Copies of this chain bind each other. A is one copy, B any other.
Amino acid sequence: MARKRLSADTRRELIEASASEVFAERGYRGGSIVEIARRAGVSAPVVYDHFPSKAELYRHLLERHFAALRQVWRDNLPGPEPAGERMGRAVDAWFAYAEEHPFAGRLLFRESVADPEVRAIHEEVAGASRDEVMPLFADEPGAERLIGAPADAGLEMVWVVLRGVLQGLAIWWADHPEVPREQVVATAMNSLWIGFERVSGGETYSL
């Protein structure tokens, strides 16, 4: 193949795109620098001209995608409309991002409980996301009913459920792109918001 000499910025973007792919497909440990470099059209040492280490490259990608998704919540969740409508458009926008960046969903959530090294990066980056998004929920009327004692744990569990559903569907959807987005969004909302609304209206489940 004819090697082309590109500007540093252009090559860096190619490397980031390639790394998103490779990490999404193979995980942090399974994704090799050589493979990332190959798909970006260069040899492995070039990666180190742009990133100091594999871990830092990974962290950079995580931060980029998490920042984009945080923005989705910030842009869509607040507003004067009914809560269900706002939540619906936020979830829709979330999956729109996942559609546009097929590797983002897989990249962001897969390794979240992996070995200490990677896990620390995830908790740091994902924690920031959680801390920003969850207050938006806590302000919804009736939200306190979702929260048992201790309150923090209850709120965090809401986040865990939200994350679990969006993560699971995003990963699944990446393998079934023929399903239209509206259907994925509707499935998520049927599970998440309808339950939330009902509970915040007083109908808590008990064993």
Q: A194: CB under 8 A from chain B?
A: yes
Are B190 and A205 interface neighbours, CB within 8 A? yes
Whether A207 lies near B186 (C-beta < 8 A) is: yes
Beta-carbon contacts under 8 Å, A94-114 to B: 106, 110-114
Q: Which chain B residue shows the least CB distance to A146?
A: B190
Question: Residue A205 contacts which of B88, B153, B163, B165 (CB distance < 8 angstroms)?
Answer: B88
Given contacts A168-B161, A194-B195, contact A186 B148 (CB under 8 A): yes
CB distance from A163 to the nearest CB of B (A): 6
| A30: Cβ under 8 A from any B Cβ | yes
A194 B190 Cβ-Cβ under 8 A: no
Docked-complex contact B204 and A187, CB < 8 angstroms: no
Task: Please name all residues of chain B whose beta carbon is closer than 8 Å to the beta carbon of A146 when the two chains form the complex.
Answer: 187, 190
A window 123-163: CB within 8 A of B: 146, 148-150, 153-154, 156-158, 160-161, 163
In Å, the complex CA distance between A26 and B172 comes to 23
Report yes or no: B172 in contact with A157, Cβ–Cβ below 8 A.
Answer: yes
7 smallest CB-CB distances across A and B, nearest first, come from A164-B168, A195-B195, A30-B115, A164-B164, A29-B29, A26-B115, A189-B205
Binding site for B on A (CB under 8 A): 25-27, 29-30, 84, 88-89, 92, 106, 110-116, 146, 148-150, 153-154, 156-158, 160-161, 163-169, 171-172, 176, 179, 182-196, 198-199, 203-207
- Kindly list 10 other residue pairs between chains A and B, CB separation below 8 angstroms, not including A186-B204, A194-B205: A27-B29, A27-B111, A29-B30, A92-B207, A112-B171, A113-B171, A157-B187, A161-B168, A165-B165, A186-B207
